[in-house]
Amino acid sequence: MDDPRDIASLDRLFNPASVAVIGASREPHKTGHEILASLIRGGFEGKIWPVNPKADEIEGLACYPDLTSIGQAPDLAVIVVPKPLVKGVVEECARVGTKSAIIVTAGFKETSEEGERLEREILRTAQRAGLRLIGPNCLGIMVPKNKLNASFGGDLPEPGVIGYFSQSGSLLASIVDMARAEGIGFSKCVSMGNKADIGELELLRYFGRDDDTRVIAGYLETITDGDAFVREAERISRTKPILLMKAGETGAGREAASSHTGRLAGTQQAFEVVFERAGIIRCESIRRQFDYARALADQPLPAGQRVAVIANAGGPGIMAADALEGEGLTLARLADETQARLRERLPNAANLANPIDVLGDALADVYEFALGQALADANVDAVLAILSPHAMTECDATAEAVVRVAREARGKPIVACFLGAGRVARAVEILHRGRIPQYESPESAVAALRIMAKVNRWRNRPKRIVRLFPVNRRKVEQVINRTLRRGQSEISEMDASDILEAYGFVTPRGQVAASADQAANFADQIGYPVVLKIWSPDILHKTDVDGVKQGLAGRQDVMDAFDLMMYRIPKKRPDADILGVLVQETVAGGSEVYLGMQRDPRFGPLMMFGMGGIMVETLRDVAFHLAPLTAEEAREMLASTRTYQLLRDTEDEGRPAVDLDALAEGLQRLSQLVTEFPQIQEMQITPYVVGPEGTQPIAVDARIRVAEA
């Protein structure tokens, strides 16, 4: 939930009536000069106070020796003094009552432990005074609408609807530079630097509430409070698209640091899952982020995925059609009436089916007519307008026509791809000014359309309802606490069975026998073949001590196996307290799958589903999703694996179909368990044996690792 105080303090940050630049400099090329010059050049209409004890005047403004001598508290202080002086300046800000400061100076957490300590001290000083900080080690902020350029990131971009936060100042400067060249506007740009105080979470919340921001974009290297960030993103992305670049996740070192079962869920996968769940669109490059942001900022969302392509040549139309299919969109099937109307006006050789080809000598009026017809067709959700510059092509007039048609489009998006460079340069400008997203290639245009369709699907998806099963929480709590009290982290098989049963899983029938004779009697009751397992709280890995014997088909086999275990295992593990041998039913006849969970340190419980054995280990056919799972999400997880196809296909092979609802329920129960017990770090139920519809799946074995939460 938003903290109204945070929102108010960021409102103050972005809307100051006065700015002091502490460490302002007369020397061009110094950061302290550049920031002051940027403020002035940007046209900021509030008060600007340079502060520097060694100057009387800078850039025509009276200069103050210190903050106090200004005589009133600036709304915003930009701090560019050398590192040793920063703490003193922050204290002065606190004293005079300034409520927002940007620390541009570097050399803190990013360079040394001493710097990190200093950064923490500065933060404490600020927090005590209710002073909010951007940085340190940042470029500053830009608010084009307020003509506020409190940064050294270059000139202000145009005002617009994109809110941007960046963990790399240098990247932000490049993005703003590109945006200026392409006429893309921003509501706010924030270089977050070390994020000592204000970070991505708070900015996300703020942009979520900010009326000037309709698209949220950012570049992140680390996410500070992943869990909260995802929850906020999930909420905000229902109304505003969130576009993120996330870097720094493939480093060999970082991968190596992931846990044992990190073999399955790498860092990259965690981010993919988390972003997907939160409705965040992950962008693989600045260019892609631009391409998507422009489309989302300037055009309405398509209601579906049926795209009409209009071009004045065959090749680019074909490329677009290829790309549409590759991106999971569809080439709209034009209505007969649309084609009839096109036939009346277009030359004979023109292609009236989608992609529409108006031919190379088409003038702007013909293009406009065809575009209008395509857009009006009820079978069309979005239009891609392609133009190649032929000798007679009226590039500029066609661009104007596209802008005109788009104005009448009433809710359907148009994106453009005018191919070439010099010959379409002016046309591209016309498109940009007319808020038509223009792309260099059909593929990029189609990629943007895909994202628009995806955002639309995301907005319209039903509310998440997580089913809660009646369970025995108390029982699980006891088991976990007992395990932790003993200083252990792995839950024994005996206890794991109890946990599974407490959450409604069916486990194999079985009883612990104390003698060979008793074991054989139990086996008679259970029915052959049976499995024998050594039963000791001290032996976690039974197979290591030959403590599991399968496929025992008769009394004599059971008695032999019992006696051999009781004779041999105490020699191998004299320390172990052996309680007997478990005689267990052999579970057969179903398909063996794998349900798992691995708690991600940033985002929480990551659920996993796959087929047992080779399908998971070698083929990596695993689906991931964050818990808690809804029924739909559980079914989506199943459906996204190849394993699912195998399970479904059992019917074709003459075996009855696997009960997929029962399987999905298993995932939901596990999801509830790991959500309710944050102590569970890692859990695998394997094999989880699912039979045909109407039968209960059986959780044969489980490994659970716990830790103090």
Contacts (CB under 8 A) with its own copies, residues 616-645:
618-619, 621, 642, 645
Among 444, 507, 630, 681, binds its own copies (CB under 8 A): 444
Among 59, 443, 490, 501, binds its own copies (CB under 8 A): 443
Q: Does 158 bind its own copies (CB under 8 A)?
A: no
> Which residues are bridge partners to 79 per DSSP?
22, 103
**Which is nearer to its own copies, 301 or 311 (by Cβ)?**
311
Among 122, 419, 559, 698, binds its own copies (CB under 8 A): 419
To its own copies, the closest distance from the beta carbon of 618 in angstroms equals: 5
**Which is nearer to its own copies, 362 or 670 (by Cβ)?**
362
Are 82 and 105 within 8 A, CB to CB? yes
Residue type, 542: K
Q: Does 654 bind its own copies (CB under 8 A)?
A: no
Q: Does 550 bind its own copies (CB under 8 A)?
A: no
**Which is nearer to its own copies, 566 or 619 (by Cβ)?**
619
Residue type, 633: E
Q: Does 82 bind its own copies (CB under 8 A)?
A: no
**Interface mask toward its own copies for 25-44; x: CB under 8 A:** ----xxx--x----------
Number of residues counted as binding its own copies (CB under 8 A)? 73
Q: Does 278 bind its own copies (CB under 8 A)?
A: no
Q: Determine the Cα–Cα distance for residues 655 and 652; give it in Å rounded to an integer.
A: 7
Are 431 and 403 within 8 A, CB to CB? yes
Q: Does 171 bind its own copies (CB under 8 A)?
A: yes
Are 237 and 261 within 8 A, CB to CB? no
What are φ and ψ of residue 407, in 5° steps?
Answer: -65, -30
The token pair that represents 193 in the structure block: 């630097």
Q: Determine the Cα–Cα distance for residues 23 and 36; give it in Å rounded to an integer.
A: 10
Residue type, 404: R
Among 173, 310, 430, 569, binds its own copies (CB under 8 A): 173
Q: Does 379 bind its own copies (CB under 8 A)?
A: no
Among 441-449, 481-489, 657-665, 666-674, the segment contacting its own copies (CB under 8 A):
441-449
Among 105-113, 451-459, 483-491, 700-708, the segment contacting its own copies (CB under 8 A):
105-113
To its own copies, the closest distance from the beta carbon of 329 in angstroms equals: 12
Q: Of 292-311, which residues contact its own copies (CB under 8 A)?
A: none
Q: Does 149 bind its own copies (CB under 8 A)?
A: no
Among 15, 18, 379, 441, binds its own copies (CB under 8 A): 441
**Which is nearer to its own copies, 388 or 492 (by Cβ)?**
388
- Alpha-carbon Rg for the chain, nearest whole angstrom, is 32
To its own copies, the closest distance from the beta carbon of 505 in angstroms equals: 28
The token pair that represents 427 in the structure block: 């046309």
Q: Does 107 bind its own copies (CB under 8 A)?
A: yes
Q: Does 116 bind its own copies (CB under 8 A)?
A: no
Q: Does 399 bind its own copies (CB under 8 A)?
A: no
Among 17-25, 62-70, 173-181, 430-438, the segment contacting its own copies (CB under 8 A):
173-181
Instruction: Please list, in sequence order, all residues whose beta carbon lies within 8 angstroms of the beta carbon of residue 243, skipping any fewer than 6 positions away.
Output: 215, 216, 217, 218, 280, 281, 283, 289, 292, 293, 296
Among 53, 113, 239, 284, binds its own copies (CB under 8 A): 284
Burial class for 676, CB neighbours closer than 10 Å (0-12, 13-18, 19+): middle
Among 125-133, 414-422, 498-506, 674-682, the segment contacting its own copies (CB under 8 A):
414-422
Q: Determine the Cα–Cα distance for residues 591 and 329; give it in Å rounded to an integer.
A: 35
To its own copies, the closest distance from the beta carbon of 340 in angstroms equals: 20
Q: Determine the Cα–Cα distance for residues 658 and 253; give it in Å rounded to an integer.
A: 42
Q: Does 120 bind its own copies (CB under 8 A)?
A: no
Q: Does 221 bind its own copies (CB under 8 A)?
A: yes
Q: Does 180 bind its own copies (CB under 8 A)?
A: yes
Among 538, 649, 661, 693, binds its own copies (CB under 8 A): 649
**Interface mask toward its own copies for 340-369; x: CB under 8 A:** ---------x----------xx--------
To its own copies, the closest distance from the beta carbon of 287 in angstroms equals: 5
Q: Does 326 bind its own copies (CB under 8 A)?
A: yes
Q: Does 166 bind its own copies (CB under 8 A)?
A: yes
Among 16-24, 73-81, 177-185, 685-693, the segment contacting its own copies (CB under 8 A):
177-185
Q: Determine the Cα–Cα distance for residues 547 and 545; give it in Å rounded to an integer.
A: 5
Burial class for 407, CB neighbours closer than 10 Å (0-12, 13-18, 19+): exposed
Among 46, 262, 300, 420, binds its own copies (CB under 8 A): 420
Interhelix angle 493-502/473-485, rounded to 10 degrees, is 160
Among 84-92, 368-376, 580-588, 615-623, the segment contacting its own copies (CB under 8 A):
615-623
Among 105, 168, 237, 299, binds its own copies (CB under 8 A): 168
The token pair that represents 218 in the structure block: 């950012």
Q: Determine the Cα–Cα distance for residues 80 and 43; give it in Å rounded to an integer.
A: 21
Please state, in angstroms and as integers, the Cα–Cα distance from residue 650 to each residue in 609, 638, 696, following that order. Answer: 18, 15, 17
- Per DSSP, 424 falls in state G
To its own copies, the closest distance from the beta carbon of 425 in angstroms equals: 8
DSSP code string of 582-611: EEEEPP-SSEEEEEEEEEETTTEEEEEEEE
138: how many CB neighbours lie within 10 A of its CB? 28
- Per DSSP, 64 falls in state B
Q: Determine the Cα–Cα distance for residues 269 and 271; give it in Å rounded to an integer.
A: 5
Among 10-18, 315-323, 600-608, 692-700, the segment contacting its own copies (CB under 8 A):
315-323
To its own copies, the closest distance from the beta carbon of 235 in angstroms equals: 28
Among 282-290, 367-375, 481-489, 663-671, the segment contacting its own copies (CB under 8 A):
282-290
Among 43, 65, 97, 248, binds its own copies (CB under 8 A): 248
Among 15, 174, 478, 489, binds its own copies (CB under 8 A): 174
Among 95, 287, 426, 464, binds its own copies (CB under 8 A): 287
To its own copies, the closest distance from the beta carbon of 511 in angstroms equals: 31
The token pair that represents 655 in the structure block: 């075996």
Strands (E), 33-157: 47-51, 57-58, 61-62, 76-79, 100-103, 132-134, 140-143, 148-151
Are 489 and 483 within 8 A, CB to CB? yes
Among 238, 390, 467, 573, binds its own copies (CB under 8 A): 390
Among 66-74, 169-177, 207-215, 375-383, the segment contacting its own copies (CB under 8 A):
169-177
Q: Does 473 bind its own copies (CB under 8 A)?
A: no
Residue type, 521: N
Are 601 and 709 within 8 A, CB to CB? no
Residue count of the chain, please give it.
Answer: 709
To its own copies, the closest distance from the beta carbon of 223 in angstroms equals: 14
DSSP code string of 433-492: HTT--B-SSHHHHHHHHHHHHHHHHHHTSPPP--------HHHHHHHHHHHHHTT--BPP
